Amino acid sequence: MAILAERNPRLADALRYFARGDWVNLYKAWEVVRDAAGAVHAIIANGWADRTEQGRFTGTAQSKDQLGDDARHASGKYKAPKNPMTLDEARAFVKSVMEAWAKTL
């Protein structure tokens, strides 16, 4: 992917965020791929991610109740899913989506 990133600034951004590995930056990497794909429904339609896993990832990343200061949002209105992701699961999820997208570049 590094060679592709040299020619694709969006992929370079996604890889940089992903390398930082925390919740906020994993979410940024997700946003880059989501925007490049056009929307979440395109990621799902392309088979790059499962809707349930996408919901677990975004729901966990946004939940202050679940992650405290590591959450993407400070508001308590974002509730964690019933089966929140671990950070390792989140890394694997985002990596998988990034790799699927990179294959289309």
In a domain, 105, yes or no: no
Tokens of 105: 């570049």
Q: What type of residue sits at position 19?
A: A
In a domain, 18, yes or no: yes
Return the percentage of the chain with pLDDT > 70, whole number.
99
| Under 8 Å between Cβ of 102 and 3 | no
Q: Is the pLDDT of residue 1 over 80?
A: no
Instruction: Tell me which residue range forms the domain holding 71.
Output: 8-100
In a domain, 1, yes or no: no
CA distance 77 to 51: 21
What would the pLDDT profile of 46-58 be if each residue is shown by its tens digit?
999 999 999 999 9
What letter does residue 103 receive in the DSSP assignment? T
Q: Is the pLDDT of residue 9 over 70?
A: yes
Tokens of 60: 């966990």
In a domain, 2, yes or no: no
Diameter over CA atoms, the chain:
41
What total number of domains does the chain contain? Answer: 1
What would the pLDDT profile of 59-95 be if each residue is shown by its tens digit?
999 999 999 999 999 998 888 899 999 999 999 999 9
What would the pLDDT profile of 26-48 be if each residue is shown by its tens digit?
999 999 999 999 999 999 999 99
In a domain, 35, yes or no: yes
In a domain, 83, yes or no: yes
In a domain, 79, yes or no: yes
Q: Is the pLDDT of residue 3 over 80?
A: no
| Under 8 Å between Cβ of 79 and 71 | no
In a domain, 76, yes or no: yes
The b-or-e profile of 50-83 (16+ CB within 10 A means b, else e) is eeebbebbbbbbbbbebbeeebbeeeeebebbee
- The reported pLDDT for the residue numbered 2 is 67
- The reported pLDDT for the residue numbered 66 is 95
